[in-house]
Amino acid sequence: MTALLDVAGVTKRFGGLVAVKDVSFALEAGEITGILGPNGAGKTTLFNLLTGFMATDRGIVRFEGRALADLPPHRIVNLGLARTFQLCRPFRGMSVLENASVGCLAPRVRHEGSVTARAQRILEQVGLADKAATLVDVLPYGDLRRLEIARALATRPKLLLLDEPFAGLGSNEIGPLSALIRKLHAEEGLTILIIEHKLREFMQLVRRVIAMDFGEVIAIGPPQEIVRHPRVVEAYIGRTEAPLGLA
Amino acid sequence: MRRLNKDVVGAVAVLVLLAMAPLVVRSDYFSGILTVSVIYAIWAASWDFMSGLTGRENFGHALFIGAGAYTAAFLNSKLDLSPWWGLPAGALVAVAFSLVVGFPTLRLRGPYFALAMLAAATIMQRLTRIFWQYTGGEEGIPGLDPLFESHLATYYFCLAALVLASVLLLFLARSSWGTILRAIRGDEAACQAAGINVTFYKIAALMISAAVAGAGGALYADYQEAVTPDVFAVSLSITLIIMVYVGGMGTIWGPVGGAILLAMLPELLRGLGEYRLWVYSVVLIFILFYSPGGLVAPLWRWLTRPSS
């Protein structure tokens, strides 16, 4: 059986800086995996390479066995690989429902019945149904994070990439969002790849962690092993024997 | 639902007013002003469809207007075709121009599209002067056949064209197409992340915008019974943008109101004599300064707000 996502030797340079260096990993369908790494480790760049927002310099990304090289972002989304952004990117001047509708208009799902009804259902799923008519410009930050996920979900992805979904959330908002992601994974059978740089909640959410530093994969394994991995410890707190308080 | 009803009543009221106006004030001069106002409204609505909805400003809408006007003039004066051919042909040629400019520039972010439109319109204006043997240079091409013998008939035809164009553009703007175009204005990258082919929608919107503007340009040539390089002028493009701003960008009907209002305003102020342009400018500055969302659309929404 081929992996849902197969990343082989992907490299991206910005001038002299190697932002992503020879990264390889594979995701099986139904997995929930995390990418861990300090700021600047190349996590978001890797997401941009996987989703076609940036072109790879070297290496191959395969989704369901199909090479994604040179496909524009919207084509990749229509193959079933959707993403959210680290900084929320709502469509300003439009309502919450309209924002979700845009995802429902992707060619992949466009002909699956009433756009409004589907958008409404997605909003119920992420817990924004009662704010459908609200203008996104006045939406609180926590709701914008959910709307990011709603827009991606609307394209009915097989693989969902979440770029720091917990960033900027208060401690009382992290639990519910984590529960939402868990629910999407359990009930919808969605394969999920999440970027975070540190978070207890995150380590409890994922089954497997890909740790990155300076653009390279330094370790892959279950969360409880990753937090004790010497190179992960080094990346986070430098060369020290101090215990890592992540898990 | 009640919101929509009020809008329809408002639109019908304005339409009746426009239809009655030349019957009340019986003068060729006045019906001429009305006709030009209505044609401006067609142009402003077509600008708004592409640029108001997607947020990609077009600083050279006169390119499409001029292309339509000169196409109509050529067909009528050189090929001796009926002026009616000018309307579809003008629209087609304008669409061809929209592809030439839109295809390379709308894939890019940044100001390339706006600048390319500005440059293309200016170049075309120059070309009409350089190839004066064919275009008549500064004099343009005079002596075109009118669509109708009577000025009043021409006016009503233009008014019907405005209704048709507005209904078509409003229908598209309120369909899922409009949702996508407004999402493009919101955030292009997010739109791509929602699986939308942003470039396709921008180019298609520009083609529709160009078709309407080109047909409007042909209409203008037929009404004037002549065409001059002024139809490519930067000042025309800028005037349209001001009309759209005053009307309320992205609403289609707002710019229609803004265009008619601003096209009539200098005439309404005629009593002020030499001061009228001064007053006109001050009025404009006040509107843009105190009501950045425009005047017509916000005012109408305020007037028809649900009473609580």
A34 and A96 inside one domain: no
Closest-CA residue of A relative to B195 is: A74
pTM of the model: 0.91
* Residues spanned by the domain of A152: 90-156
Contact check, Cβ <8 Å, A78/B191 = no
ipTM of the complex: 0.89
- Choose the final residue of a domain: A129, A156, A183: A156
d(CA B81, CA B78) in angstroms, rounded, equals 8
CA B131 to chain centre: 27
Give the per-residue pLDDT at A128: 95
Give the per-residue pLDDT at A243: 45
Residues in chain A within 8 Å Cβ distance of B250: 93
**CATH code of the domain containing B98:** 1.10.3470.10
Closest-CA residue of A relative to B181 is: A102
A74 and A147 inside one domain: no
Give the per-residue pLDDT at B308: 56
Classify residue A63: in a domain, yes or no.
Answer: yes
**Pick from A77, A92, A115: which is nearest to B194 by CB?**
A77
Q: Is B108 on the interface with A (CB under 8 A)?
A: no
Strands A191-196 and A159-163: parallel
Alpha-carbon separation of residue B279 from A145, B206, B260, B284 (angstroms): 49, 35, 17, 9
A133 and A176 inside one domain: no
CA distance B53 to chain A (A): 11
Alpha-carbon separation of residue A163 from A68, A79, A82, A196, B4 (angstroms): 20, 19, 11, 7, 40
Q: Coil, strand or helix: which one is B192?
A: helix
Each residue's pLDDT tens digit, A93-120:
999 999 999 999 999 999 898 999 999 9
A19 and A96 inside one domain: no
Give the per-residue pLDDT at A198: 67
* Residues spanned by the domain of B262: 2-303
Query: What mean pLDDT value characterizes chain A?
Result: 90
Contact check, Cβ <8 Å, A101/B185 = no
Residues in chain A within 8 Å Cβ distance of B196: 74, 102, 105-106
- Interior CA angle at A87 toward A85 and A91, to 5°? 80
Per-residue pLDDT 10s for chain B (308 aa) are: 566 788 889 899 999 999 999 999 888 889 999 999 999 999 999 999 999 999 999 999 999 999 999 999 999 999 999 999 999 999 999 999 999 999 999 988 778 999 999 999 999 999 999 999 989 888 999 989 999 989 999 999 999 999 999 999 999 999 999 999 999 999 999 999 999 999 999 999 999 999 999 999 999 999 999 999 999 999 999 999 999 999 999 999 999 999 999 998 887 777 777 777 788 888 888 887 888 788 888 888 888 887 75
Classify residue B308: in a domain, yes or no.
Answer: no
A134 and A227 inside one domain: no
CA atoms within 13 A on the CB side of B165: 34
CA distance A53 to chain B (A): 8
| pLDDT mean over A222-246 | 73
- Choose the final residue of a domain: A123, A156, A189: A156
A168 and A94 inside one domain: no
Phi-psi region at B252: left, alpha or beta (left = phi > 0; alpha = psi -120 to 50): left
Predicted confidence (pLDDT) at residue A240 exceeds the cutoff of 60: no
Q: Coil, strand or helix: which one is A169?
A: coil
Classify residue A85: in a domain, yes or no.
Answer: no
Contact check, Cβ <8 Å, A154/B194 = yes
The total number of structural domains that make up chain A: 2
Give the per-residue pLDDT at A241: 46
Strands A58-63 and A208-213: unpaired
Ramachandran angles phi, psi of A88, nearest 5°: -60, 135
Residues in chain A within 8 Å Cβ distance of B191: 91, 102
